[in-house]
Amino acid sequence: MWFSAVRAERAPGLPVRESPLRVKVGRLASTTREVFSKGSTRFGAIMIVLLLGMAIFAPLLVDENPRGAYQMPRDLSAVAAPPGTEGHPLGTTRLGGDVLYGIVWGARLSLQLSIYVVAGAVFLGLIVGCTAGIVGGKVDAFLMRIVDVFLSIPTLVFPLAIAAVLGPSFENIVVALAVIMWARYARIIRSQILQVREEDYVDAARAIGDSRFGIIRRDILPNSFTPVAVQATLDMGHAVLLGATLAFIGLAVAGQAEWGTLVSEGQADIIAGRWWTSTFPGLMVFLWALSFNLVGDGLRDVLDPRTEGR
């Protein structure tokens, strides 16, 4: 009888019930194919893989400086050496710093910067945004006024104030950027919660007697995070661009293997014809920001319903 039942379940014309896991995997695969159907998104993804590979495997590509992994090694016997110099494939700075070392280890520092900044901003933004959207009322109004204050602060003013008080350092740059960027995530998640809680499936969950906490946990929050993921992808590139800008104006530690610092060191060398000091790190900043923007745009086109039909 068991054999007959199995055959009956597989008989032609009867619907086949797929497992929830298989359905989710199928949806993920379909979404992934749609996201990477555009050539620009594929290019961005390839560049991200290469950049992340360089950051992760930095010790295998360039030997770590014994005085500190993120401290530029100095070769005073090869000051301002051009690309192709023995031992310095990308040349050196006017202080003898190896440009290749700054590029490779600067990629790892940029990866840490983007992860720390985006994670901190998302964490703070989700706490404030979810509280405002779910509680509502006076709490919502109060929290959104705080968000408006932070959104009104120019991006570079707050980091400059922190550097003036605490001094230039990598940690201070991370804190300053995270504090500046969290407000946009708060506004995004709040607006999504306000929109999702008016959907028909949320009303249906209320009608069948689901608890408020259960509706929030199962129906509202999971369907509100898509724009947050898109914005986080875009900010992975934006954070490095801002970090390089702050390092360029002197908020990073002197002599650090950081792309913005290298560009700052090489700006005076361009007139003297030593273009490589600033060109290579500047190109890395451009590629990092461009790659994450391309992938973020691809995700937004597929996952954000507001872009449908554009």
- pLDDT tens digits, residue range 79-121? 888 888 888 899 888 888 889 999 999 999 999 999 999 999 9
Residue 28 binned pLDDT confidence (cut-offs 50, 70, 90): low
Does this model's pTM top 0.75? My answer is yes
- Which residue in this structure is represented by tokens 């922190």? 162
Are 74 and 97 contacting, i.e. CB atoms less than 8 angstroms apart?
yes
Residue 148 corresponds to which tokens in the numbers above? 């408006």
Residue 235 corresponds to which tokens in the numbers above? 């900010």
Q: Which domains, and CATH codes, for the chain? A: 38-307 (1.10.3720.10)
Average pLDDT over all residues of the chain: 82
State the Cα–Cα distance between residues 269 and 238, nearest whole angstrom.
27
| pLDDT value of position 50 | 94
Category of 200 on φ-ψ map: left (φ > 0), alpha (ψ -120 to 50) or beta: alpha
State the Cα–Cα distance between residues 225 and 178, nearest whole angstrom.
19
